[in-house]
Structure 1
């Protein structure tokens, strides 16, 4: 299974430097290194949850360095809720859940803009409940698929 990002010349995504600056601004991080660490840990955690076309399409929207972090992860067989995602991120990084939640919000707010509304809707339909808030969206109740 090779889901490496494919270049899409029609899409003018931001550079990794631009993404880094946006995340640094969103998260009010004191250094670029701290913002880069947040990008790496949050995208790695998201890469453990996201599969299929949504994973590939999101990777195409991200700067190459960010896309490689996302796609280098082997998806978990257990899909975590939004809160489970935060607890998992905290466990992987040694951060408190509050800091993990802050990092997630800072990174995913930028990812939301890069993905656009259509892809974001597809991503949120794939993931369990609780992710819309992490992406800065209203949490919509949806009927359980059987």
Structure 2
């Protein structure tokens, strides 16, 4: 069952220590659009089903990336799209959003998501994987 929009944003707001829900929403939109560009097929659809509808549509409607960005380039891309962000604050933004996404899903689906991404994303989701 998908989280409600407010509950999802409240978690992101708390984790990202944002001053407002609007800041959290801006970061969430950017991060989910970038993530959606990296996921394909049923994995993307199943993950979207766990998100509030508006955020699910952002994930599903992202244009596909030619190739998945390594985590450090994903952070740089997020920094470029989040107003006023630096690479350091973007890491915080990405982590706040992706850890909330991880909490909204189950371990099996998260494992499938991580299989579609380059190594290192497990840390961004706040779920370090054993090597």
User: Do the two structures share a fold, i.e. TM-score over 0.5?
Assistant: yes
Q: Which residue of 1 aligns with 2:103?
A: 113
In structure 2, the gaps of 5 or more residues are none
Asked if 1 retains the 8 angstrom alpha-carbon contact of 2:27 and 2:82, the reply is: no
Q: TM-score, normalised by structure 2?
A: 0.93
Give the Cα separation in 1 of the matches to 2:9 and 2:111: 24
Give the Cα separation in 2 of the matches to 1:48 and 1:121: 18
Deviation at 1:139, TM superposition (A): 4.1
Q: How many correspondences in the alignment? A: 130
Larger Rg: 1
1:89 aligns with 2:78: yes
In structure 1, the gaps of 5 or more residues are 1-11, 142-146
Q: Which residue of 1 aligns with 2:90?
A: 100
SS, match of residue 105 in structure 2: helix
Give the Cα separation in 2 of the matches to 1:19 and 1:27: 12
Work out which of the residue numbers 1, 22, 25 in structure 1 matches 2:11: 22
Runs of at least 4 residues of structure 1 off by over 4 A?
Answer: none
Give the Cα separation in 2 of the matches to 1:119 and 1:136: 15
Asked if 1 retains the 8 angstrom alpha-carbon contact of 2:48 and 2:56, the reply is: yes
Give the Cα separation in 1 of the matches to 2:49 and 2:94: 20
Asked if 1 retains the 8 angstrom alpha-carbon contact of 2:2 and 2:52, the reply is: yes
